[in-house]
Structure 1
Amino acid sequence: MSRDQIYALPRDQVGQFQFDEQVARVFPDMIARSVPGYGSILSIIEQLSARFVQPGTQVYDLGCSLGAATLLMQPQIPPDATIHAVDNAPAMIDRLRSRVDQIRQRPTLAKVQVHLADVVDFPMDHASLVVLNFTLQFIASDRRRELLDRICQALIPGGALLLSEKICFDDPHQQQLLSDLHLDFKRACGYSELEIAQKRTSLEKTLIPESLATHTERLQAAGFATVAPWFQCFNFASILAIKGGQGR
């Protein structure tokens, strides 16, 4: 795994963050050292796939990046289910396709289809599980409800959505405290003050966080019968939303 040193040297101008080849090359290290609890969330996605994915249904990993969630789910679900790994970053998709091609011939595993596409417009149907793992925060605010509506409509009764996001807080003291704790985490993981500052600048207009209450209310409005925040570490959280009807 290549170490993330993208922002290690000073830049005259810090451009907008992009999921390009440079980021794809170091992404596993970058996200592990930037998102506290990321590994725990992945392990729960693996666990949830075994619980929720039904035979013959579709699974959607929206904003799949290098496919960490996809590849963990694949051995856990029925072999006649299909995982659709979707991302709009060619560098990510190219690397994931190479990994999938290496294991595609194993008949005991569910099929993985890799798609270079915008997740907001990607067609979905007959889904038992959808994963939005730190994806919604990169989608324009005025299109987030549209995507969640489409996900809820595509899910079978009892189907689940796993939504993980960086969050913000209405209380300014709480916001400052948890932001500071997150910065301490990044320092402990080896990022310098320069790296932290330059990456923050690159993400300012790209990653737009919202409060946990906003996410919960939007999921309920989209039609999910159960909305259960299950994880939080500093200013990162994950929510399990279940569509009503019969299911596990």
Structure 2
Amino acid sequence: MSDASYRDAIFSTPLDRVARFSFDERVVACFPDMIRRSVPGYGQILGMLGLIAARHLRHGARVYDLGCSLGAAGLALAGQLPPAAFRYTGVDLSPAMVARARETLAAECPDHAMEVVEGDIRRLDYRPAGMIVLNFTLQFLAPEDRDALMSRLYQALEPGGVLVLSEKVVAEDEQENAWRVERYHDFKRANGYSDLEISQKRTALENVLVPDTLAAHHARLERAGFSRSHTWFQFLNFASLIAFKDAPGAPRDGET
């Protein structure tokens, strides 16, 4: 197989009509470059997954990676944990993503229990899991579907399990939000994107990627049943949260 990825130039030429963003073959081909240059802190979030799993995941438990794209979370876990430590199930709706993720994980993690399935995470028949990861996935679901999904994921988690939710977020204060967006565009310019690319991609994502506030995310997690949640990472308008399903009688972090 070829592991080549290409530079993201999807929006580099003027388009008469900017189509809605979709995870098609063009995006798959340049996805690693797109993520690296478009999502602040993505590498740091991936790097923490193994540490979080080592602390909270029951040995041998299942890890779901929902909206797994090319399986980066699975690769990160396999790079930090031994094969017996977990079983990985990646789920994605894009056939092109699923095909590439299967090839990559089979080549890079042959000794780990790794599977990738094509499916809609809103309708998946979930098996018990010790950890669930949604890295920049919930934001692509219709807002009215998000509460029901989070409740299903809470039910799928074993007591003592954790959910990691990484999302693009919007600030409640309009002036603060505008500043974060402007600095994010500066971040993209510094990574080689032109103003044309930034503008056209923003148009393509309109009404496709619909962000929530951090407060809305925490409130949703509480409604789903999680006993507590923390924002453990934030870089401009990108953040990652962790939510806990406490085992009965278990002490919380920091308690003895």
After TM superposition, give the deviation of residue 99 of structure 1 in Å: 1.4
- Paired residues of 1:7 and 1:198 also in contact (CA < 8 A): yes
Instruction: State the partner residue of 2:224.
Output: 222
Does residue 99 of the first structure (1) align with residue 88 of the second (2)? no
Letter matched to residue 55 of structure 2? R
Q: Distance between the aligned counterparts of 2:107 and 2:44, measured in 1?
A: 26
Counterpart selection for 1:56 from 56, 60, 83: 60
Does residue 74 of the first structure (1) align with residue 59 of the second (2)? no
Q: Distance between the aligned counterparts of 1:78 and 1:96, measured in 2?
A: 18
Deviations 1:194-217 (A, max 9, x none): 000000000001000010000001
After TM superposition, give the deviation of residue 46 of structure 1 in Å: 2.4
Compared CA separation, residues 80 and 43, structure 1 to 2 (3 A): closer
- Paired residues of 1:36 and 1:236 also in contact (CA < 8 A): yes
Q: Distance between the aligned counterparts of 1:34 and 1:2, measured in 2?
A: 14
Counterpart selection for 1:194 from 193, 196, 207: 196
Q: Distance between the aligned counterparts of 2:241 and 2:204, measured in 1?
A: 27
Q: Secondary structure at the match of 1:6?
A: coil
Instruction: State the partner residue of 2:186.
Output: 184
TM-score by length of 2: 0.92
- Paired residues of 1:55 and 1:78 also in contact (CA < 8 A): no
The percent of aligned pairs where both chains have the same amino acid is 45
Letter matched to residue 201 of structure 1? T
Does residue 140 of the first structure (1) align with residue 145 of the second (2)? no
Instruction: State the partner residue of 1:27.
Output: 31
| Structure 1: gaps (5+ residues) | none
Q: Distance between the aligned counterparts of 1:147 and 1:139, measured in 2?
A: 10
Does residue 166 of the first structure (1) align with residue 168 of the second (2)? yes
Q: Distance between the aligned counterparts of 1:69 and 1:99, measured in 2?
A: 12
Q: Distance between the aligned counterparts of 1:219 and 1:68, measured in 2?
A: 24
Q: Distance between the aligned counterparts of 2:109 and 2:182, measured in 1?
A: 44
After TM superposition, give the deviation of residue 78 of structure 1 in Å: 5.4
Deviations 1:59-92 (A, max 9, x none): 1000000000011112415516311100000111
Q: Distance between the aligned counterparts of 2:83 and 2:245, measured in 1?
A: 20
- Paired residues of 1:50 and 1:77 also in contact (CA < 8 A): no
Q: Distance between the aligned counterparts of 1:74 and 1:220, measured in 2?
A: 30
- Paired residues of 1:53 and 1:78 also in contact (CA < 8 A): no
